[in-house]
Amino acid sequence: MIWIVLGFITSILAIFIALSIGYIVSKTDAGTERMREIAHAIQEGARAFLKVQDLYLMIFVAVMAIVLYFTLGVYVSFSYVFGAIFSMLAGVIGMEVAVKANVRTTYFALKEGMRKAFLVAYLGGTVMGLMVVGSALAGITLFYWIFDDFQVLLGFSLGASSVALFTKAGGGIYTKTADIAADLVGKVELELPEDDPRNPAVIADNVGDNVGDVAGMASDLYDSYVASIIAAMVIGYEMFHNFGLPEIYIYFPIVIAAGGIIATLIGLSWVKIHAHEDPGSSLNRTTLVAVITYIIILYIFVQWFNANPAIFWATVAGLLAGAVMGYTTDYYTSIEKKPTQKVAEASVTGTAVNILMGFSYGIMSIVPGVIGVAIAMLVAWYISVYFGLYPIYGIAISAIGMLGIVGTIVSADAYGPIADNAKGIAEQAGLKEDVISLLDRLDAAGNTAKAITKGFAIGAAALTVIALFAAYAEIVNLQLLVDVINDVNNQVAVYPGRILNLVSPNVVSGLLIGAAMPPIISAMLILAVGRNTEVMIEDIRNQLRERPGIIKGTEKPDYARCVAIAEKGALKELILPGVTATVAPIIVGILLGIRALAAFLAGSIATGFLFALFMANSGGSWDNAKKYIEDGHFGGKGSEAHKAAVVGDTVGDPFKDTAGPTLNTMITVMSLIASTFAPIIAMLALFP
């Protein structure tokens, strides 16, 4: 039980440091009256949305808790509720600090320059990063300590995933509704600068950065982090009981996660040392320090606990695959790289060619990511076989490896919207061009950090759901392998169980239905953004038509109307995709059988991974192609190329910030639903 205590103490340390940093940031100067007024509007809008969204979520959670109570018992129901609460709290606390850090970043850019502004923005993001890993590991260790039951842990993970699915969908719909409406009317129709205070949607756009990119992304990675640890623990439990392997493999995922938190804390301590450098270099150096430290700590732990060496190499394989995902995303989305510059150049020809180029580069970007994850799985599998470890366990461990330094990754991700908001506050407050230019540099580094985070999130989700797929197979006694490594002497045992027949009509039907789920959910979310955006665009046009003083600068727009439209539309539209992803696995399992459900999961994993990569990278490329033109290339702001690029960016917005990231969570939720409800599905299934 010492391993559980180690994990719990480490998690509490992370939470304590996060809250301490949040307190320090909130006590710094918030700037001028005008700056505080703008920041207050952003803060109130974000709070109002999360308050109503969390109310909707708690209704859903209550219904699911009742279902779990009558099907799987009170403890699973209890853990489900707390998994949801822990996930919501991590997002709320992180976002609260983010909406306080934004205006303080603006103030320090005005008064003290780049170094202090960068530090405040990054420390604000750090609160989110540490809260995610701290509350996640605290919940896992606490519930396993109390209940010693993996069905209860799966309930906790399902609670976190349910919240992540709705939060990511709702926040994504909100932020892209405001972003697209603000760009199409403000930039294309009126040729206003970004974050111009005359644009009625500007506050809603700033609010969306926080509810989508801070709270939403935090829930996304929280979900993957929890699921990866629990999946590995479930497989470790099966190894212990079925193959007689040491009990340490049940607990070692917690040890690995604790090592990741320690490495994250060491990496974060380097930020202050290198804050004088270029913001992007500082972020990259912090990540590099965390990665190297994590590898060293992991090696020490493997030696200390006399664990199988395959664990070390599988974890490193996952970590390196994460790096491949991140750098692939950077290459295809960075403003300094050829693909994005080519998309920008295509804008000179017109909108259609811009969209075709971004779409094509998005598809091409799938290849390195798929190869990276495939290599990580192959290395984890064969190195496990070589050292006599159950190979599925090696793949599960590689997923934890990819998420080992997730605290660092989330910190950099949350830094992005803080810097973006800080720039918006500076423009709306009428600060000098040199201050806005400084904050633009911080914002550019944040855009790259957000893109890399999405790459990590997608890769981690892919490896995690493969581990969850294996956990489901273990629970329902489904034979995925004919021969399985039994022990360190490489003795072979035939695993008794149901065979997955790939020519069975039920299995093929399940595979096709599962493969269709990611495109269906994507379409639901993009249609939701489209419908909501239409309403907001009409409202903006009406405001400008009815009150011509807005454009002249003599009247203030009614920002609250756009905030209300984004909020109402997002809350209305998030229900259907969330419920669809939740009930689909249960329906398939009951109607087509547990083998078909396994195929359903396999199909959704494959297409979900590909769709998520494609949409994240194509959207990022369109976004930065627009920024490249705004930097003065191909005619600069206001040119025909710029207008074409803005339209391309608005096409990519729901790709990269709504549908794409939601797919990570969707495939995790469906895998957890299958694993958690497996006993009930097996009992009610019409086919064996």
Q: What is the pLDDT of residue 531?
A: 92
484 pLDDT more than 60? no
Percent share of the chain, pLDDT over 90: 25
Q: What is the average pLDDT across 255-284?
A: 79
CA distances 327 to 118, 225, 330, 364, 571, Å, are 22, 21, 5, 14, 34
The model's confidence at residue 496, banded by pLDDT at 50, 70 and 90, is very low
The model's confidence at residue 481, banded by pLDDT at 50, 70 and 90, is very low
Write the DSSP symbol of residue 129.
H
- Do 161 and 154 touch, CB atoms closer than 8 A? no
Q: What is the pLDDT of residue 439?
A: 84
Burial of 303 (0-12, 13-18, 19+ CB in 10 A): exposed
Question: Over the stretch 342-357, which tens digit does the pLDDT of each residue have?
Answer: 999 999 999 999 999 9
Question: Over the stretch 162-182, which tens digit does the pLDDT of each residue have?
Answer: 888 888 788 888 888 888 888
Q: Which helix (H) or strand (E) holds 247?
A: none
The model's confidence at residue 493, banded by pLDDT at 50, 70 and 90, is very low
137 pLDDT more than 50? yes
Measured distance CA(35)–CA(136) in Å, rounded = 35
Q: What is the pLDDT of residue 276?
A: 58
Q: What is the pLDDT of residue 171?
A: 82
Secondary structure of residue 491 in the 3-state scheme: coil
64 pLDDT more than 50? yes
119 pLDDT more than 60? yes
417 pLDDT more than 90? no
Q: What is the pLDDT of residue 495?
A: 38
Residues 6 or more apart whose Cβ sits within 8 Å of residue 212: 168, 171, 172, 174, 175, 176, 657, 658
Percent share of the chain, pLDDT over 70: 93
Q: % helix / strand / coil in the chain, to the nearest 5? A: 85, 0, 15
Instruction: Note the pTM of the prediction, 2 decimals.
Output: 0.85
641 pLDDT more than 90? yes
The model's confidence at residue 450, banded by pLDDT at 50, 70 and 90, is low
Q: What is the average pLDDT across 375-400?
A: 87
What is the DSSP secondary-structure string of 35-64? Answer: HHHHHHHHHHHHHHHHHHHHHHHHHHHHHH
Secondary structure of residue 485 in the 3-state scheme: strand
Measured distance CA(416)–CA(219) in Å, rounded = 16
Q: What is the pLDDT of residue 134?
A: 92
The model's confidence at residue 554, banded by pLDDT at 50, 70 and 90, is confident
Number of domains in the chain: 1
Q: What is the pLDDT of residue 275?
A: 56
Measured distance CA(252)–CA(135) in Å, rounded = 18
688 pLDDT more than 80? no
Q: What is the average pLDDT across 96-115?
A: 86
The model's confidence at residue 277, banded by pLDDT at 50, 70 and 90, is low
- Do 299 and 444 touch, CB atoms closer than 8 A? no
Measured distance CA(248)–CA(307) in Å, rounded = 8
- Least confident residue range of 426-430, 516-520, 581-585: 426-430
In this structure, the strands spanning 492-494 and 498-499 are unpaired
User: Measuring CA to CA, which residue among 499, 437, 461, 500 is closest to residue 665?
Assistant: 461
Please provide the average confidence, as pLDDT, over all residues in the chain: 84
Measured distance CA(247)–CA(236) in Å, rounded = 8
The model's confidence at residue 486, banded by pLDDT at 50, 70 and 90, is very low
In this structure, the strands spanning 478-479 and 492-494 are unpaired
Q: What is the pLDDT of residue 447?
A: 65
Q: What is the pLDDT of residue 313?
A: 93
- Do 103 and 38 touch, CB atoms closer than 8 A? yes
Q: What is the pLDDT of residue 472?
A: 79
29 pLDDT more than 70? yes
491 pLDDT more than 70? no
Q: What is the average pLDDT across 85-113?
A: 85
Measured distance CA(468)–CA(154) in Å, rounded = 10
The more confident residue out of 133 and 283 is 133
Question: Over the stretch 211-265, which tens digit does the pLDDT of each residue have?
Answer: 777 777 777 778 888 988 988 888 888 778 777 777 888 889 999 999 999 999 9
498 pLDDT more than 60? no
- Least confident residue range of 273-282, 475-484, 582-591: 475-484
587 pLDDT more than 90? yes
The model's confidence at residue 483, banded by pLDDT at 50, 70 and 90, is very low
616 pLDDT more than 70? yes
* Enclosing domain of residue 242: 2-684
626 pLDDT more than 80? yes
Residues 6 or more apart whose Cβ sits within 8 Å of residue 219: 87, 88, 90, 91, 160, 163, 164, 167, 168, 665
